[in-house]
Chains A and B, each alone.
Chain A
Amino acid sequence: MKLGRRGLFGVVVALVGVALVVKWVWFAAPVAPHVTTRLVMGTLVTISTWGVPEERERRAVGMAFEEFTRIEAMMSRFQPASEVTRINGARRGEVVSVSEELAQLLLQGIGMQRRSQGAFALGLAPLSDLWGFSREPPPVAPPDGQAVAAWLRRYASVAEAGIQVTTAPEFTVRLEDESIGLDLGGIAKGYGVDRAVEILHRQGVDNVLINAGGDMRGMGSKGGVPWHVGLRDPRDPNGLVAVLDWVDGMAMSTSGDYERFFMAEGRRYHHILDPASGDSARSGLMSVSIQAGDSVTADGLSTAVFVLGEERGLRLLQQFPGCEALLIRADGTFVQTPGFVGRWVKTP
């Protein structure tokens, strides 16, 4: 049977039509998120947005990054003009006037410090300096044991009472001993993420995912498709151990022994320091991810649980309703609380 020119032309047009349908329906993907990355607060901060007109998106994201920069300028102990540098530089026992914003965040941190029985601590700058994880080049050997022991003795005598904050009649901070110095590394990034989300929301950006070097928070979705997030394998930078579809409003923070570390005599020394020993925390965990309603809580809790270890860490978590955890043990096995959003994907 001869199709004829018209018949064949029709077949070809139909084939092209099918190809187009396959492309636009079967392979249809939502509009890609707009992604902006900058180096702020000593880490890579990525803000992904979806479905926002370009001009408004650029303005809002710019404001969010400005907020990160502002918080860094206020809370970094490495910025000469920051409030934290001013407090650390004051004589011990001297009352230092501070902003309400810093005082309120310090109070939040002190609350976490008390509830975690000191596992999370705001005053570890002198110990961090002994270890030198923030130095360049980074350390290759642990610090002098006697220096750490001397710090431990002094710190143990003041510990919780070492940072005094008042809110009336004015906002002040007083450090009580030389063994105490503010280091807000365990809470400031989380605060930055919360503030950035708030600013973006006020600017009409409701579909956003922020990743600030382990502190994440997401709102909305990509047109109904949830934000897809992977959780890094602590021992394989290119591997994932878990995947999750982000829940609107959720914050997640991960603390692990693999971001800043060195190996010496077969031991791994990392930057999460245990105030009880003065050493890198050795709690039998290599990674802790905490999900919470805000990044400050998630940030502080992930450090505290990492330091406390599985048993005590999960007990602490019970004091924080709505918070969930995924703990990866040193042997690579894991435990997650029933409400943790995510699916373990790594095969043994």
Chain B
Amino acid sequence: MNNWLSLLGRASTLADRWVMGVSGLGIVALGLTMRAVPGSQATVFRDNHPVLTLPLDRDVTTEVAGRLGPVTIEVRQGRVRLLEYLSPRMIGTRTGWIEGAGRMAACVPCGILLQVEGGRSPEDTSEWDAVAQ
């Protein structure tokens, strides 16, 4: 390692090293852009109309009025989930925590849909276009 650094020092000037440093940072930045974009906020829909927006950078527990009563929504460490109404038809119960742009959870009988804002990242090739239930 020291040999390499010594060789690099002899083979380059200060300006060369400065250019290399900046370029290295650029490459790291490129790498970061390849990662999926995390969602910054979630929107709560009641009967397909938006009723609440929740920033995901602030931990909070709140309630919205569903068709069958209040539905609790919890934000923790950039993730969000629907709580309560333990019904086999409450898809949200089974979905659990969601994060990342475009992810959803819903309580069908409550008429509540929770969606992390933003479309799917173009690099997000790991996901299925749909899952047949």
Contact = CB atoms under 8 A, between A and B. Distances in A.
B16 A9 contact: yes
Given A16-B27, A39-B108, A23 B34 contact: yes
Interface stretch (A28-36, A151-159, A168-176): A28-36
Contacts of B26: 16, 19
A227 interface: yes
Given A37-B113, A38-B113, A259-B88, A8 B132 contact: no
Interface residues of A, number: 57
Interface in B82-102: 87-89, 91, 94, 102
Interface in A1-33: 1-3, 5, 8-9, 12-13, 15-16, 19-20, 23, 27, 29-33
Given A2-B11, A23-B30, A39-B47, A33 B115 contact: no
A2 B10 contact: yes
Interface residues of B, number: 44
A136 B88 contact: no
B111 interface: yes
Given A2-B10, A8-B19, A136-B68, A43 B108 contact: yes
Contacts of B94: 237
Nearest to B115: A37
Contacts of B129: 33, 48, 209, 222, 227-229, 246
Interface stretch (A142-150, A211-219, A278-286): A211-219
A211 B104 CA distance: 14
Interface in B1-27: 10-13, 15-16, 19-20, 23, 26-27
Contacts of A15: 23, 27
Contacts of A321: none
A137 interface: yes
A222 B124 CA distance: 14
A118 to B, nearest CB: 26
B77 interface: no
B130 A216 contact: yes
A5 B13 contact: yes
12 contacts: A5-B15, A15-B27, A23-B34, A29-B123, A37-B115, A39-B45, A42-B108, A44-B106, A44-B108, A229-B130, A229-B131, A243-B128
